[in-house]
Amino acid sequence: MRETFHGQLAQLGEHLVEMCGMAAESMRLASRALLTADLQLAEQVLSSDAVLDRARQTCEELAQSMLALQAPVAGDLRTILAAVYGAEKIERMGDLAAHIADTARFTYPEHAVPAEFESLFTELGEIAAGMAERVGEFIVGDAGGGFAELNETDHAVDALHARALAEITGADWTHGVQSATSLALVARFYERFADQAVSVAKRLEFAETGERPTSV
C-alpha cells in the first residue's frame, strides 16, 4: 500500500513538473509572439492551452483517488493538497500566457509593445518563465527556501510592472489610449503569472516543512 502510494505520489509530481514546463514554454512563446507580432505563434500558444487544462484535470483526479484510497495524513496529506493547489495555479499560469498571446493576436499586424518597451517586456517574459521552471525544480528537489527565493524574484517583476505602468500613464506616452490600456493589461498578466508561481512555491514549502513560510 505504501509502495503504491509513493509510486502515485511520484507520478503526481511528474505530472506537475510537466505542467510547470508547459507553463514556462507557453510564457516564452507568448512573449515572443507579443514582441515580434507573430500571429502563428500566438495561435499555437492559444491552442496548446487545452493540453495544460487536461493535465490539471489528470492531476486532480489522481490526487482525489489517492485521498480516497490511501487516506494519507500529515506530510503526505499536505503534499497531495499542495499538488491539487499547484495544478490549479499552474493551469492559471497557462491561461495568463494565453492572454498575452491573445493580445498579440488581437493587435496583429500591429505590434502591441512599442519599440522602447521591448527590453522591459522581454525581461518580464524571461523572469516569469524562469519562475515556472523553478517551481518545477522545487517539486522534484528541496522546496525549502523556495518561497523566499521566488518572493524575491517577484519583487523584480513587481518593479518592472510598476515601471511599465508609470511609463504607460506618464506624460511622455505617445502611443494613444488603446495601446496604453492593452499594454497595462498585458503587464498585469505577467505580474499575475509571477504571483501564481510564488504561491505554489509557498504551498510546496508548507507541504515539505509543515510550517507556513512568511514573506521577507
CA distance 144 to 114: 40
Question: Cβ distance 31 to 80 under 8 Å?
Answer: no
Q: Of residues 4, 119, 169, 215, which one binds its own copies by CB under 8 A?
A: 169
Question: Cβ distance 25 to 97 under 8 Å?
Answer: no
Q: Which stretch binds its own copies (CB under 8 A): 5-13, 31-39, 124-132, 169-177?
A: 169-177
C-beta closer to its own copies: residue 71 or 140? 71
Q: Of residues 78, 105, 134, 202, which one binds its own copies by CB under 8 A?
A: 78
CA distance 158 to 199: 15
Q: Of residues 16, 30, 135, 168, which one binds its own copies by CB under 8 A?
A: 168
The cell numbers describing 24, all together, are 514556462
Q: Is 93 exposed, middle or buried (0-12, 13-18, 19+ CB in 10 A)?
A: buried
To the nearest whole angstrom, how small is the minimum distance from the Cβ of residue 172 to its own copies?
11
Task: Kindly state the DSSP code that residue 116 receives in the 8-state scheme.
Answer: G
Contacts with its own copies, 86-125, as mask; x by CB under 8 A: --x-------------------------------------
167 binds its own copies (CB under 8 A): no
